[in-house]
Amino acid sequence: MADTAAINGGEQARSKRYRLPGITREGIAQLSLLETAFWPLKGGVREQPTFETTYSFKAGDEKRQADVAVFAPLGLQSIDEYILWGLLGTTLSQADRSSSLLATPYWMLKQLGLGTGGSQYDQFRQSLERLALVAYQNTAFYNPVTQQHERVTLHFFSSYLPTKGPGAEVDTERSWRIEWSPLFFQMCQATGGTLLFDLDLYRQLTPATRRLFLKIKDRFWRSSQVFMNVDDLTINGLGFSPDRPLYKRKFDLEACIEELLRLGIVELGRGQGSVKDLFLKRGPGVYVVQLFEGRYFRQPLAERTTTQKQAIADDPLYQPLRAIGVDEAGIRRVFQQCSRGLIQRWIRVTEAAIHEQPAGFPGFKVSPAAFFIDGVQNQRMPPDWIYTHEKHRQRERWEAERQNNTSDLQRLREEYQSERSVAFREYLSSAEGRQLSSQFSPTFLEFYRQVDPHSPHEAAREATELKIEREHFDNTYPDFSVWVLDRNRTS
């Protein structure tokens, strides 16, 4: 009986934690990231591109401190957290829960409930590029997979945005791709690793109140009343400047609570007449705020609209397939017969063939739609030219970034590229690298003897190295932002 009661209690607690009124759009936040603000509330670019903060937690009966560092060379804006949690919720709401989100920017903005005018596309692109450069480091990150506190350095996602030509503006008519970091995505899929919330309600709130809303939503599943230290909450939790006096931060926090009070997210306790009554003085300059669960959390459970079966036109891959020329009957057939990973792979290949005239592509024999259908139905591997083409595009992006970076950041990037090149050469010389070379090289050599008879060996060697780098080495070497954080910590 005791075991049954414990199981039922656990299920009730879990359903309480994830309970929501019926919502149209869901956001999903990673719980450990909510322990602190991961960028100052005022936003923008800092003189030093790293923001550091701390928080306390209990390990058994012992109180410990976790140190958090966030590297964001382009800075962050308040909209970026909305984009991050909204895209994460959109990705995890898909049936296959793939770590890759491929869709047109129009579809993504609609899913986020944002406008789709010209300026919105540019703002969305800037937000994605800021977030893609972020690296987050925590000395005591709670990993829901291992259920332990660990020292973690992670990256949120990588963005792949096609352009209208080398160095040209981003093409908003084509598919954009978000590739979530495997480590981060794994943690977000683990039970007890994320917080589900109403994205439309979240969007209504001011930036500081958004952070407070997520913090108390996580705590209200355990208790209908929570206490938080005002000094720690305003600086480390919400991101107010520590240079701002406590009484001013307390005033700003009161405004946040008033906002939540109007929406029924919190309420006053018995005998309390105003928000000021929620603050308790514990000593000279020491205040605690007590917050009570509001009626918002006591609404009856309702079926979430995002869990209902989506119409085929609502699928993120629908518009890219229609743009390629696949009709609706063909799209339904492809969805039924092929994995989403295979479909996404051949959408990228077909779009590149249509728009970018890559070297080595012989042209469409029939049409782009026929080229795509042949690739997915026969489960073909991507053609060799796509690896060389994407590598060249990546080099073009690096060169454009290098020209736009400040001298200090440029120096770091050059140092990173130098170390990465050395590491890649060492990888090629390893037993694993030699095995991969012997596996891929004969196929490329046979191919280039037909298309490049003057220097087939050199062309085959380059293609082999590009394939190994993309499919194997890139998964083991850290991204630039993660590399910088690790370098700063060890220097």
pLDDT digits (tens, 9 = 90+) for 222-265: 888 999 999 999 999 999 999 999 999 999 999 999 999 999 99
Per-residue pLDDT, averaged over 111-124, amounts to: 88
Tokens, residue 273: 């007449």
Report pLDDT digits (tens) over 332-388.
888 888 888 888 889 988 888 888 778 778 888 888 888 889 888 888 888 878 877
Q: What is the pLDDT of residue 308?
A: 44
C-alpha 178 chain-centroid distance: 8
Q: Residue 280: inside a domain, yes or no?
A: no
Identify whether residues 58 and 124 lie together within a single domain. yes
C-alpha 183 chain-centroid distance: 11
Position 448 confidence tier, pLDDT thresholds 50, 70, 90: confident
pLDDT exceeds cutoff 50 at 445: yes
Identify whether residues 372 and 438 lie together within a single domain. no
Answering whether pTM is above 0.75, one says no
How far apart are the C-alpha atoms of 52 and 39, rounded to whole Å? 9
Domain boundary among 167, 194, 221: 194
**CA of 301: how far to CAs of 15, 22, 213, in Å?**
10, 7, 19
Judge contact between 386 and 352, C-beta under 8 A: yes
Identify whether residues 353 and 482 lie together within a single domain. no
Tokens, residue 55: 């928080």
- In 10 A of CB 294, how many CB atoms? 18
Q: What is the pLDDT of residue 17?
A: 45
Report pLDDT digits (tens) over 276-314.
999 999 888 899 999 999 988 887 665 444 444 457 777
Q: What is the pLDDT of residue 248?
A: 94
Q: What is the pLDDT of residue 249?
A: 94
Alpha helix locations (H) across 221-339? Answer: 230-232, 246-262, 318-324, 328-337
Q: Is the dihedral of CA 310, 316, 321, 323 positive or negative?
A: positive
Task: Tell the residue number behind the tokens 């359903």, with chain if given.
Answer: 15
Identify whether residues 116 and 47 lie together within a single domain. yes
Q: Taking the CA atoms of the chain, what radius of gyration do you get in angstroms?
A: 25
Q: What is the pLDDT of residue 491?
A: 58
How far apart are the C-alpha atoms of 259 and 222, rounded to whole Å? 23
How far apart are the C-alpha atoms of 353 and 222, rounded to whole Å? 53
Identify whether residues 188 and 333 lie together within a single domain. no
- Give the H/E segment covering residue 288: strand 286-293
How far apart are the C-alpha atoms of 120 and 163, rounded to whole Å? 17
Identify whether residues 65 and 161 lie together within a single domain. yes
Cα 354-356-357 angle, rounded to 5 deg: 80
Out of 2-11, 76-85, 185-194, 196-205, pick the least confident.
2-11
Strands 100-103 and 225-229 come out as unpaired
Tokens, residue 207: 């930036």
Half-sphere exposure for 181 (CA within 13 Å, toward CB)? 22
Q: What is the pLDDT of residue 8?
A: 42
pLDDT exceeds cutoff 80 at 481: no
Q: What is the pLDDT of residue 488?
A: 67
Position 22 confidence tier, pLDDT thresholds 50, 70, 90: low
Identify whether residues 64 and 158 lie together within a single domain. yes
Judge contact between 135 and 479, C-beta under 8 A: yes
Question: Exposure string (b/e) for 167-190, b if CB count within 10 Å is 16 or more?
Answer: eeebbbebbbbbbbbeebbebbbb
Q: What is the pLDDT of residue 304?
A: 47
Packing angle of the helix pair 407-429, 384-404 (nearest 10 deg): 150
Per-residue pLDDT, averaged over 17-33, amounts to: 74
Q: What is the pLDDT of residue 9?
A: 41
Q: Is the dihedral of CA 451, 454, 456, 459 positive or negative?
A: negative
Domain boundary among 162, 194, 226: 194
What domain range is 122 assigned to?
A: 34-77+95-194
Q: Residue 70: inside a domain, yes or no?
A: yes
How far apart are the C-alpha atoms of 149 and 385, rounded to whole Å? 44
As a residue count, the chain comes to 491
How far apart are the C-alpha atoms of 480 and 417, rounded to whole Å? 9
Cα 473-91-26 angle, rounded to 5 deg: 150
How far apart are the C-alpha atoms of 323 and 315, rounded to whole Å? 14
Number of domain units in the chain: 3
Structure-model confidence comparison of residues 3 and 125, the more confident one: 125
Structure-model confidence comparison of residues 272 and 5, the more confident one: 272
Domain boundary among 159, 194, 229: 194
Identify whether residues 409 and 380 lie together within a single domain. no
**CA of 260: how far to CAs of 133, 199, 256, 292, in Å?**
32, 15, 7, 11
Structure-model confidence comparison of residues 381 and 442, the more confident one: 442
How far apart are the C-alpha atoms of 88 and 197, rounded to whole Å? 12
Identify whether residues 53 and 179 lie together within a single domain. yes
- Strands of 3-90, DSSP E: 26-30, 50-59, 62-71
Q: What is the pLDDT of residue 333?
A: 86
Task: Tell the residue number behind the tokens 């800037």, with chain if given.
Answer: 126
Q: What does pLDDT average to over the chain?
A: 84
Identify whether residues 428 and 346 lie together within a single domain. no
How far apart are the C-alpha atoms of 181 and 143, rounded to whole Å? 15
Q: What is the pLDDT of residue 404?
A: 58
